[in-house]
Amino acid sequence: MLVDGDTCGPEDWRLAKDAWHAYGRVNMTVFAAPEFRNIKKWAMALDKLGANFEGVPRNNVGNKDPNDLALAFAAGGFAGSGAVDGVALLAKDADFNYILRQLVKRGCRAILLVPEGWNAYARSKLADSGVGFVTYNRRLGMPMMCNLLQADGTSTWDTLEAQDDDANVDLTGVHSLLMDLGYLHGAKDQWIPAFARMCVASFVGPFAVFPGVCSALDAASLTRDIPFSTWKKDPGNLVYVRPCRSTVAMSKKLVSKFGTEGCARLALAGCAFVTEKMKPWLNVFCEFSVI
């Protein structure tokens, strides 16, 4: 199983490997720029899956993607070795269609791994080629994006590494800290906005404000690892804003991309942020969004 790391990140690897594993034992190699091996979520996913990593240096000359070349050489090598039953590609780039066709011509079983929703398109491009298809479910029903709040109050959406949806995190210490520093005042107060304001006031980040399971894991980790003296009392002038409206019409394709309709709506609406209450543009913004 050869993975194009330029187009398929850790959120796809395990799901695709599990789908392909039903057909036999899988030896998996991810191809990407060498520095990607040092990204925490990549390193964790590679180790957890027992996958190999092939660092492909980038260059500043030529117009051919080095990753495409590396994958082509590897696929050809496996096809000619006689040591494997077939070669499966996990990639979302049409450039690899030629490689798949060539594998079939050499008598090698060639498989394209595709997420649900992409299958019809992929088949149309490889009609009558002899290439097989294995479809994997990209965790439909679970968010596949997370909203990371930075220490300066801004946030970004990032692909979500697979998380256990039933993670049971003890937030007793988190709630106690928020109460002690004045960010929570009662049982009905929402702790995620309160923790987000505390992070910005204390210049701590990143903190996942969505989805909730990631928020709980991050909050527990941050309060455990960061000294109490770092956390600042509620200054009283910060507000957490979560845009919730978007003019983009919801569709099955968007739900498939983001995992859930709720995640899709939030991601399309924009990024959460923390700002000062007295910013002159805030009231105008809130007329068009929902906090």
The pLDDT assigned to 122 comes to: 62
Q: Please, what is the angle between helix 172-180 and helix 191-201, to 10°? A: 60
For residues 195 and 183, is the Cβ–Cβ distance under 8 A? Answer: yes
The pLDDT assigned to 109 comes to: 86
pLDDT tens for each residue of the chain, 291 residues long: 999 988 888 878 888 887 776 666 788 999 999 999 998 889 988 998 889 999 998 766 545 578 888 988 998 888 888 777 889 899 877 677 888 888 888 888 888 888 766 655 566 777 778 888 887 766 555 777 889 999 999 999 888 765 544 456 788 899 999 999 999 987 678 899 999 999 999 999 899 998 888 888 899 999 999 999 999 999 999 999 888 766 777 777 777 777 777 788 888 888 888 988 765 544 544 444 444
The pLDDT assigned to 226 comes to: 93
Q: Which residues contact 130 (CB under 8 A, 6 or more apart)?
A: 101, 104, 110
Domain ranges of the chain: 2-136, 145-288
Per CATH, is 2-136 categorized as 3.40.50.1010?
Answer: yes
For residues 77 and 106, is the Cβ–Cβ distance under 8 A? Answer: no
- Rounded to whole angstroms, the Cα distance separating 44 from 163 reads 12
Give the C-alpha distances (Å, rounded to integers) separating 85 from 4, 26, 211. 20, 10, 40
